[in-house]
Amino acid sequence: GQNIDQPTEMTATEGAIVQINCTYQTSGFNGLFWYQQHAGEAPTFLSYNVLDGLEEKGRFSSFLSRSKGYSYLLLKELQMKDSASYLCAVRRAAGNKLTFGGGTRVLVKP
């Protein structure tokens, strides 16, 4: 199956932490990507996970559990500029065909 599920929208306060979950069908998994997309702009690459565990990059971290078909993106010390859509994408086979979830719109409030 191709279903990749993410919450539609989340709201958080400036300075707080938000966790965006992504679940996917586990068959044929070959990597998971997270992107940030501001309105009217192209997606920006945030992270890539292919092995289980946590990858940390500054204020952003991404976690993967292959057996559970589950990933999350953790945004710490939220800033107003983090208000954007966050897209989870799965690569299943060789090559670079990515299947995207619908995206999670995060709104950061003062």
- 78 or 84: CB nearest other proteins: 84
Q: Sign (positive/negative) of CA torsion 22, 29, 65, 1?
A: positive
Rank residues 78 and 87 by Cβ distance to other proteins and give the closer one. 87
66 makes contact with other proteins (CB under 8 A): no
Burial grade of 108 (CB within 10 A; 0-12, 13-18, 19 or more) = buried
Scanning 8-16, 20-28, 43-51, 65-73 for contacts with other proteins by CB under 8 A, the matching segment is 43-51
Euclidean distance between CA atoms 63 and 56, whole angstroms: 9
Interface pick for other proteins out of 44, 52, 59, 80 (rule CB under 8 A): 44
